A = this chain, B = another copy of it.
Amino acid sequence: MIVVMREGCKKEEVDRVVELVREMNLKDHVIVGTERTVVAVIGDDRYKDRSVLESCPGVDRVVPILAPYKIASRQTHPESTVISLRQGTDAAVGGRKICVIAGPCSVEDRKKYLEIAQVVKELGATALRGGAFKPRTDPYQFQGLGEEGLEILAEAREQTGLPVVTEVMSLEQVLLVAKYADVLQIGTRNMHNFNLLQAVGKTDKPILLKRGWSAKLDEFLLAAEYVIQSGNPNVVLCERGIRTHEEYVRNTLPLAIIPAVKRESHLPIIIDPAHGTGHAYMVPAMCRAAVAAGADGVMVEVHQDPEHALTDGAQSLTPQAFETMMKEMKAVAEAVGREVSGTAVSVK
């Protein structure tokens, strides 16, 4: 890190910074500029709290030089990581194939779920999604079927052969969800829930980690680092939109995170354009764009009857819209030298 002193700071203030740097077992290097003095700190300072230095008299600010994450960094692991979504299948994310995770926002009903699962499989999905536990901002709304939903997901996997992805919302759900699901999703609201990150880091299931609404890239990669450090190297990053002043979308979907993640980390990244925009009509364009920008997959909501969906109907595609979107996405994938996995068979 670099400690930038205020202009006109006193010699004792610089000395104090140097002393604290040495207390941290780091090396200091003082550079006296024409207007300001900076103290360059040499050594691995990831484990040090830089606010200690920020609070010293005469210090203007402290600029970190090293990225705060290490194992999630491409520097440590130059090859891109490919993550299998379920052992014994070829469903994976991070390789040449673009992965498509599809299904309704939440599991509402056994018969309907099994039906839509079959539909998205035939249209080429790589994996199934569906919430059994739903985090709802509003306590008065549908909160999911719980374990019954997990059983339905498992049954859908049996019938389709597709791995299932579902959210785990709290520590005491981890074992239960891991018993049924193939991939554990950590939702936006939990990206900073470090206890939960560590708990899923102790399972052997791949983790789908959604970015927080206002998380910085460093924080997103650090959340992945929490999981990896707990023993689970299989983290799929998922961008799902950030909060900004924009009002024609529910969230702003920043696709430039795709090249940024590819540069900084070896982990795969997928895009969730349904939550990322809030509007079904924008989903196909954003899926095509994500693939063109280099995303490793997309996650979309498909519902037979969006008008009667219990959650997020406004951002769900009909099977017909999903079919069209898959065709378009395949064409774009080929244009960028990739492939959308699965075999698309038209819905009868």
Contact = CB atoms under 8 A, between A and B. Distances in A.
Contacts of A55: 280, 306-307, 309, 313-316
A86 interface: no
Interface in A212-240: 212-214, 216-219, 222, 225-226, 229
A60 B268 CA distance: 21
Interface residues of A, number: 114
Contact of A335 (B8, B34, B36, B332): B332
Contact of A247 (B193, B216, B252): B216
B194 A135 contact: yes
A173 to B, nearest CB: 8
B217 A248 contact: yes
B192 A47 contact: no
Contacts of A111: none
A310 interface: yes
Copies of this chain, count:
4
A31 B40 CA distance: 8
A170 B199 CA distance: 12
A198 B38 CA distance: 34
Interface string A264-286: 10000000010011001110011
A47 B140 contact: yes
Interface stretch (A94-102, A113-121, A288-296): A288-296
B189 A192 contact: yes
Contact of A189 (B170, B193, B226, B291): B193
Interface of A: 2, 4, 7-8, 16, 20, 29, 31, 33-36, 38, 40, 42-44, 46-47, 49, 51-56, 63, 65-66, 68, 75, 135-142, 169-172, 188-190, 192-196, 198, 212-214, 216-219, 222, 225-226, 229, 242-249, 252-260, 263-264, 273, 276-277, 280-282, 285-286, 288-294, 306-316, 328, 331-332, 334-336
Please name the 9 residue pairs, one residue from A and one from B, whose CB atoms are nearest each other, closest first. A54-B314, A189-B192, A292-B292, A51-B314, A214-B214, A214-B243, A289-B289, A331-B335, A289-B293
